[in-house]
Amino acid sequence: MKKRSSLYFVAVLGSVFLVCNVISSCGKSFYFAGRTLPPSGVLQRVMVAEQNPSAFSSGALPFVDAYYDIRHPYNASGGQLEINGYSGKLPLTIQNMPEQQIGAVYGQGDGSLALVSYAQEKISATVAIPGSLSSSTEGVPYNGVFISRDLSFVYAANPASHIISVVDRTNGASLTLNLPNAYGISVNPGGTIALVFIQNATQAANHSDVVSAGNPDPDPTSFAVYSVVRLTQAEQTAAINNPNYVDPVYHVKAQDCEPQKQPTWCVFPVSTGASATFDHPIKAVFSPDGTTAYVINCGPECGGTTASLTAIPLTAGSINTGSTGASGIALGAQSTIPIPNGSTNAIFNGNTLYVAGQQLQASSGLFAGYLTILNTPANTITGSWSISDGLHNRMVFADDNTLWIGSSQCNQGVRYQQAQAGASVRFGCITMFNTANNTATIDAYLGDGTGIAAVQGLHKVYTTEGGQIYIYNTTSMTSLDNSNVIIAGTAIDCAYMDAGTDDDNTIY
């Protein structure tokens, strides 16, 4: 009897020890991939960018327990979960970097960029961006400001001031580069490429900024896509008082270099080859292997002619060796792939690129939303499916082989017109696309779909639609109870703070 009791006691101790290794109450300071256990003890968090939460504040960053779908700690009747120390105005976007346990929140009301420590659930730093950056929710896409994943550099485009802002956080320096009509910027995950896009611009084939016998004095202001470049020490010396510096190694001519007395940064045009063009470019996505940037040409949806993707190889010969930060000094586009059904956003899954956009319907004069699937090694379209209409700003993969797509102004397209005519057609701004069987499910109209957070492993996604938070399961897009996560202000974006990788992010 005593022997059996001893064995039972050992078994109980072993069970307690096992449990203590997975719950915070037993002293563990980490919970996943070495990440720090947050003060709230909540392990499945979705942060919300909330505008005008009260009469006393124009911005806040609440977060919710996405396991229980509540805004307060479990087993507590009060105490709202919120990021401490946030003072930005009108937060607009969340650049989600869960691997770094950091989120970068841009406030359009004051041009601030606040860095959120996911580990400490508070603001860890605020980056001052020169040039009074501002943006709006109507832009296509939301890509006005980025911070590199190593948190060393911030790049921003300001269409109102016609400048590019650069912040070097390592050296405590910041500056602006002159670039008329710059309105969007995309940065690759490694932080070596920062591409800038000119509003309503086109660029023909064989348009180069390389100085040669046949092109002795290229006009650096006549391009549609530019690359921000940090100069080496030797280049800085050679570029003194020369804003249109021509690099002696790459033979490319800058549009601007700053500060002129001792330049540290330049912006260089991106050339086009014989088979490449740009037609109202708006952003870029980068292949998973890092070898290619695909520029998204908005085309007819933005007042142009042809929607397409333009591929820019990212080779060693196009990178400014010896510099840190953005270094794409001699970039040249090589090919353009037409996307007949529209292109305003895209996301990679291996070698498959999912492209969202709209096609103008001649019969109605309105746009209809489509998702096009591109096999990038072969540069061939494998299919196209009808999705929500509108300006597609959000794309993220979730559980159960689903891709979630958000758009704004979806009530101005063909689906809304059909519904008004009596057809049984949904015209909501969120689409769930099943990548296993290529079927699309569209939600009921709740307002603009401005944010999507895929809560991995829990078979659910959070969205911000029409200024409020909604929850769906990923098996059938059934709405889940959101009554305990509703906020008083306007929910404009959301991010899953505890995602496994930075891929749970629609900003990069």
User: Are 275 and 232 members of one domain?
Assistant: yes
Contact 72, 62 (CB under 8 A): no
Helix intervals (H) in 300-421: 414-420
What backbone phi and psi angles, to 5 degrees, belong to 498? -110, 30
User: Are 398 and 411 members of one domain?
Assistant: yes
In a domain, 5, yes or no: no
What backbone phi and psi angles, to 5 degrees, belong to 19? -65, -40
In a domain, 31, yes or no: no
What's the half-sphere exposure (Cβ side, CA atoms, 13 Å) at 336?
25
Residues in CB range of 5: below 8 A, 6 or more apart:
none
User: Are 431 and 297 members of one domain?
Assistant: no
Q: Which residue has the tokens 């000094």?
A: 329
For residue 458, what is the enclosing H or E element? none
How many angstroms separate the CA atoms of 216 and 212, rounded? 5
Of 295, 317, 343, at which residue does a domain stop?
Answer: 343
In a domain, 362, yes or no: yes
Contact 167, 174 (CB under 8 A): yes
In a domain, 33, yes or no: no
Question: Which tokens hold the place of 36?
Answer: 């720090």
Contact 389, 358 (CB under 8 A): yes
User: Are 173 and 312 members of one domain?
Assistant: yes
User: Are 157 and 228 members of one domain?
Assistant: yes
**Cβ density class 194-215: b for 16+ within 10 Å, e for less:** bbbbbbebbbeeebbbbbeeee
How many angstroms separate the CA atoms of 336 and 275, rounded? 6
The predicted pLDDT at position 499 comes to 96
User: Are 65 and 97 members of one domain?
Assistant: yes
Domain count, the chain: 3
User: Are 441 and 452 members of one domain?
Assistant: no
The predicted pLDDT at position 75 comes to 79
In a domain, 463, yes or no: yes
How many angstroms separate the CA atoms of 317 and 430, rounded? 41
In a domain, 299, yes or no: yes
Distances (CA, A) of 103 to 69, 83, 189, 262, 507: 21, 11, 14, 33, 11
DSSP-derived letter for residue 29 is S
The predicted pLDDT at position 77 comes to 65
Q: Which domain holds residue 452?
A: 45-122+448-508
How many angstroms separate the CA atoms of 269 and 198, rounded? 11
Of 343, 373, 397, at which residue does a domain stop?
Answer: 343
End-to-end distance of the chain based on CA atoms, in angstroms? 64
User: Are 73 and 204 members of one domain?
Assistant: no
User: Are 337 and 242 members of one domain?
Assistant: yes
Of 343, 378, 398, at which residue does a domain stop?
Answer: 343
User: Are 212 and 339 members of one domain?
Assistant: yes
In a domain, 176, yes or no: yes
Q: How many residues does the chain have?
A: 508
The predicted pLDDT at position 79 comes to 80
In a domain, 3, yes or no: no
Contact 198, 181 (CB under 8 A): yes
User: Could you read off the pLDDT tens digit of each residue along the chain, which spans 508 residues?
Assistant: 444 444 444 444 444 444 444 443 344 456 777 888 999 999 999 999 999 999 899 999 999 999 999 999 887 766 899 999 999 999 999 999 999 999 999 998 888 899 999 999 999 999 999 986 655 434 444 678 999 999 999 999 887 788 899 999 999 999 999 999 998 899 999 999 999 999 999 999 999 999 999 999 999 899 999 999 999 999 999 999 999 999 999 999 999 999 999 999 999 999 999 999 999 999 999 999 999 999 999 999 999 999 999 999 999 999 998 889 999 999 999 999 999 999 999 999 999 999 999 999 999 999 999 999 999 999 999 999 999 999 999 999 999 999 999 999 999 999 999 999 999 999 999 999 999 999 999 999 999 999 999 999 999 999 999 999 999 999 999 999 999 999 999 999 999 999 999 989 866 6
User: Are 440 and 475 members of one domain?
Assistant: no
Three-state secondary structure call for residue 50: strand
Handedness of CA 389, 395, 397, 399 (dihedral sign): negative
User: Are 87 and 161 members of one domain?
Assistant: no
The predicted pLDDT at position 183 comes to 86
